[in-house]
Amino acid sequence: MIRPLAIIYSIILSAALLLGISVAALCDGSNLVVGDVVSVIVDGEQDLSKAYQINGEGCIEVSMVGQIKLTGLNTSEAAAAVTKALLEILVNPQVSVQFLERAKMNVYVVGQVTKRGLVDIGVGDRVIQALAQAGYDDNSDLSHVQVRRGEEVIQLDLTKYLDGQDLSVNVELLSGDTVVVPHVNMEGTVMALGQVAKAGPIPLKRGGTFRDIMGLIGNVTIDADTDNIIVKRESVPEPIAVDYSAAMAGDPTADIKLMPGDTIFVPQMEGAFFTVLGGVNRPGQYPLKDKLMLSEAIGAAGGGTLNVADLRKVLVMRGSGRDPKQTDTTTFNLKNIIDGSEPEPAVKRGDVIYVTERKPSLTWLQIMQNALPFIWLFRR
């Protein structure tokens, strides 16, 4: 309601504002621009409380007050500006300003993106927001993005932004900018052969490395000899040895930069075997190829011998990682594994699996006597 004491309250409120007392209910920390939509709430004044769009003059038009300039202010400062203007007609107005919608602007995104053409983004948005709207994929070369602004061309390596190395490359866009995303420059192909998940020719991106190719082909298989991986290159007479562990850990000195025509060869691990003894139908040594679980290993040996095998007590003897001269023995209940109440282990190179037989006289000495011919498996 309008009161004749408005001037007195205006003086009091002005003093409060000088002291830094905020009457805003919300502050989003960003500055308002032309086209932004804000919600103005004035307690007890329904006609004044509504959404306003900031016009080309940078103002909102408020009934009985006129234009109130809000551009360049945050919501807290905008609430103070509206409060000051309303003091002409109200006593101690309680005002809050909330940000509703960012002003829109148009930019163009072309090249290797899902949605080419005009893209609506908010004023103040940056290149990444525009690319998120347009959509990009593995074929988008984010290391060579251009922003064309009139005659000016801004070169950006957005991979540095995505890696957190340089946030400044995510530049703010202006209305009418054109963002150009090139296709990844495929330099050619490399061959992946041997114990890999996906063998054959693999597209090589510009600057592609050994680790990049491993990611594309699904890495190596379980029986791969990762200590002897080589890269054959036509221009180099001798094969190039690859330090697999270091390369996959991201060591740039080990992660070889590949060239078109290179061949990656991953050999099979020699002596990749496991042994099954005891109460099985075909005891002996078996090659370890793909990932193999304990029940599958026993199945490969013909399964447990009827009325003899005690599947509740299956021993897995494995070379100790702490001492090469020692072995670790773990007991598993295959029946529990089958019904899901016990986790099933994977078989590893050199494992000796002993399925206990239902013989009262069976002793550890007998077990070791049976295993003795295979003790060489634990030698390294």
Distance CA 347, CA 330 (A): 12
Domain boundaries, the chain: 6-101, 104-181, 186-266, 273-378
| Predicted pLDDT of residue 232 | 92
| Predicted pLDDT of residue 368 | 64
Tell which CATH architecture fits domain 104-181.
Answer: Roll (3.10)
Long-range CB pairs of 14-23, under 8 A, 24+ apart, other chains included: 14/84, 17/80, 17/84, 22/76, 22/79, 22/80, 23/79, 23/80, 23/83, 23/94, 23/95, 23/96
Of the listed ranges 50-54, 149-153, 316-320, the least confidently predicted one is 316-320
Q: pLDDT, tens digit, for every residue of 254-304? A: 999 999 889 999 987 776 788 999 899 999 888 887 788 999 999 999 999
Q: Which of 189, 194, 27 is nearest to 98 (CA)?
A: 27
The answer, yes or no, to whether residue 21 has pLDDT greater than 50, is no
25 pLDDT tier (thresholds 50, 70, 90):
very low
Q: Hey, do 6-101 and 273-378 end up sharing a CATH topology, with the first three levels equal?
A: no
Distance CA 85, CA 78 (A): 11
- Spatial neighbors of 161 by CB under 8 A, at least 6 apart, are 128, 167, 169, 170
Distance CA 46, CA 203 (A): 64
| Predicted pLDDT of residue 22 | 30
Share of the chain above pLDDT 70, in %: 84
Distance CA 77, CA 340 (A): 63
Contact indicator for 335, 362 with CB cutoff of 8 Å = no
CATH entry, 273-378, from 3.30.430.20, 3.40.50.300, 3.10.560.10, 3.10.310.70: 3.10.560.10
| Predicted pLDDT of residue 82 | 96
Q: pLDDT, tens digit, for every residue of 57-96? A: 999 999 999 999 999 999 999 999 999 999 999 999 999 9
- Encoded tokens for 159: 């991979």
The answer, yes or no, to whether residue 139 has pLDDT greater than 80, is yes
| Predicted pLDDT of residue 320 | 64
CATH of domain 6-101: 3.30.1950.10
| Predicted pLDDT of residue 48 | 94
Q: Where are the beta strands (DSSP E) in 174-242?
A: 178-181, 186-194, 200-205, 230-232, 240-241
Of the listed ranges 29-38, 144-153, 177-186, 357-366, the least confidently predicted one is 357-366
The answer, yes or no, to whether residue 24 has pLDDT greater than 60, is no
Task: Judge residue 118's burial from the number of C-beta atoms within 10 Å of its C-beta, 0-12 exposed, 13-18 middle, 19 or more buried.
Answer: exposed
Distance CA 138, CA 124 (A): 27
Mean pLDDT in residue range 32-49: 92
| Predicted pLDDT of residue 77 | 95
| Number of neighbours of residue 5 by Cβ within 10 angstroms | 9
With the C-alpha atoms ordered 121, 122, 126, 128, is the resulting torsion angle positive or negative?
A: negative
Distance CA 194, CA 226 (A): 11
Query: What fold, for 186-266?
Result: Outer membrane lipoprotein wza fold like (3.10.560)
Side-chain-side CA neighbours of 152 within 13 Å: the count stands at 8
360 pLDDT tier (thresholds 50, 70, 90):
low
CA distances from 132 to 163, 175, 214 (A): 16, 17, 27
For the chain, the straight-line distance linking the first and the last C-alpha, in angstroms and rounded, comes to 93
Of the listed ranges 116-120, 224-228, 255-259, 337-341, the least confidently predicted one is 224-228
Classified as helix, coil or strand, 267 is coil
Distance CA 154, CA 108 (A): 15
| Predicted pLDDT of residue 303 | 92
Mean pLDDT in residue range 23-32: 51
Contact indicator for 321, 380 with CB cutoff of 8 Å = no
| Predicted pLDDT of residue 3 | 39
Report the largest interatomic distance among the alpha carbons of the chain, rounded to a whole angstrom.
110
Q: pLDDT, tens digit, for every residue of 322-346? A: 554 577 889 999 999 999 999 999 9
Distance CA 290, CA 351 (A): 15
Distance CA 38, CA 32 (A): 9
- At 123, which amino acid appears? V
Mean pLDDT in residue range 349-360: 83
Which tops the pLDDT comparison, 201 or 246? 246
- Encoded tokens for 315: 């021993």
Mean pLDDT in residue range 122-130: 91
Average pLDDT over the chain, rounded to an integer: 83
Q: pLDDT, tens digit, for every residue of 164-205? A: 999 999 999 998 999 998 887 777 778 899 989 888 888 888
pTM, two decimals, is 0.40
